[in-house]
Structure 1
Amino acid sequence: MDMKHAFLKEPLLHFLFLGGLIFLADALLASDRKEQIFVDQSSIDYLVKQQERLSLRTYSDEDIEQLIAAYIEDEILYREAYKRGLNQGDTRMRRNMILKLRGLMIAKVKEPSEAQLKDFYQNNLERYTGPEQFQVDHVYFKDESSVSTGLLDELNQGADFRSLSESYFQTYGQSSINSPRSELASLFGEQASRYIVETDSDHWMGPFSSAQGIHFVKRSGITPPKVAAFEQVAPYLPMDWQAAEARKLIDAELDSVRENYSIVVERTQ
């Protein structure tokens, strides 16, 4: 018997060979055992529509990718929180479980020094830049029956708009207000808000309908964004710094468990 045939008859070789096959099969089938996170086009459309309505702008492909990534991140955190039993005694389960897991990360972060806070402020000035403010003159009616014929012409000819408007609790009785873009839709409805943001005109426009009633609006000015001084935001910096540090821990946690999930994003557009 030559050495080759003797070697092939060794039981240890058979055992190792069989073990190798099992290991290979296990590796090939591992992806099938991963939990699947499936994001289809209808889900993406819903997320985008919801955010565009709030932000009063059209989302770019990059914005949409970030929105999908945030959704996937939350889904992973939710499932990991469930595995750790953070759902016990929780009636608002999904959101609270995600918040609990994030809270566990934040609890690991130590108090920052003043030097760290100053560095954080300088490196994140965009966080502490107030949004542009839109100055809006506003005439409001509860319904169309209260709107007189030719009102728009009267307003553009200089009629006292303050005496024409009905009481509107959302502006606290003010007919001229300053508002960031993010609050315009809740005050004036989507149609009027888009006009306020996009117009180059200083004329009155309307009527615009919203769930609250009828609106006539005129954009009277815009205050550009302004960076707050360090002293103004100092009380909030420790919390922001800790949140940023917790973000690093969350990213590390996500990296360590993400391989346990099979993520499928199905975009048809």
Structure 2
Amino acid sequence: MKRLLKDPVLIFFVLGALLFVLFGLLQREESTPIVLSNGAQALLVSEWEMLTGRSADSNDVQRIVEDYYERELLFREGLSRELYASDPSIRELIIELMQQQVTGEILEPSGKDLVNFYTDNIDRYYSEATISFTQRLFRDAPQAPDQLLAQLNQGDVIGDDQLWQGKDFPNYGVSMIRGLFGQSLLEVLEEISIAEWQGPYQSAEGWHYFRVERRDKPVLLSFERVKDQVMADYQAEAVSAAVEAFVETKRAAYPLETGSR
């Protein structure tokens, strides 16, 4: 074997053969054909005729085929240039398509499966805590805030600056209140005394006086009331479990590296 490797003529032919094979592979990669079968072409023509409302002649067919060719060529070039790596929307679409490939068809759960899922995850199916309250809002800081507060508690009618939220908020969920007023004012409404005007509390919109009428704690919603949500949650967990199992099988092939590089 060592004598053969010392033979310059043999080495020349071996290297030549390797270069020939490599060149052939590269050429094949560069000239991968774009195949449009008769069946696929007929489907494209049928879709075109359905959209346009007329039969395609030979020129129309040629344009349909050329359009397919151009789009397929651009698609392949886009893949080769890894455009998907720089576009978050395309990355998300690919991830979603892979999730669908991994999970396949989710089996329809039985009624017993859903009830068991509901009871195993009962904390998910409580209503949101609510607060019923009234507000008076002033764009500018009141000149005599304590006097104004006393007037409100005496039942006096006070003119205020009405904004888009309104004045009365019956049975508003805490997430809605947070969206309307922000976290800091939600915390105020969760803590102040019931049936008594209090304030003012400042926000970006002005100064608020609040009177909380009642607070209702979360209550458990019946299975029948949340059955659709239970179904959605059940399927979401099934997808998540399938994806996690798939990722575990591929973890060795994609080692995670963290930190600065």
Classify the TM-score, shorter chain. Answer: 0.5 to 0.7
Do the aligned partners of 1:133 and 1:180 also contact (CA within 8 Å) in 2?
yes
Match of 1:169 among 142, 149, 164: 164
Matched, 1:224 2:221: no
Q: Deviations over 1:88-138 (max 9, x none)?
A: 896635655555554555653122122211221222221111121122222
Unaligned runs of 5+ residues in structure 2 are 1-78
Do the aligned partners of 1:111 and 1:238 also contact (CA within 8 Å) in 2?
no
**Which whole-Å CA distance do the structure 1 matches of 2:180 and 2:259 have between them?**
36
**Which whole-Å CA distance do the structure 1 matches of 2:177 and 2:121 have between them?**
26
Give the match's secondary structure for 2:209: strand
Q: CA deviation at 1:223?
A: 0.7
Match of 1:236 among 218, 229, 236: 229
**Which whole-Å CA distance do the structure 1 matches of 2:216 and 2:200 have between them?**
25
Q: Deviations over 1:147-199 (max 9, x none)?
A: 46332222233335xx64543333xx451332222232222233322212234
Deviates more, 1:127-136 or 1:248-257: 248-257
Matched, 1:187 2:177: no
Give the match's secondary structure for 1:138: strand
Percent identical pairs in the alignment equals: 25
Unaligned runs of 5+ residues in structure 1 are 1-81
Matched residue, 1:144: 140
Do the aligned partners of 2:85 and 2:91 also contact (CA within 8 Å) in 1?
no
Match of 2:256 among 252, 262, 265: 262
Aligned residue pairs: how many? 177
- Structure-2-length-normalised TM-score: 0.54
Q: CA deviation at 1:86?
A: 11
**Which whole-Å CA distance do the structure 2 matches of 1:262 and 1:183 have between them?**
40
Give the match's secondary structure for 2:225: helix
Matched, 1:251 2:244: yes
Q: CA deviation at 1:200?
A: 5.1
Matched, 1:127 2:99: no
Do the aligned partners of 1:137 and 1:217 also contact (CA within 8 Å) in 2?
yes
Counterpart mapping for 1:47-62 below 5 A: none
| AA at the equivalent of 1:183 | M
Highest RCO, 1 vs 2 (Cα 8 Å, sep ≥ 6): 1
Give the match's secondary structure for 2:224: helix
Give the match's secondary structure for 2:247: helix
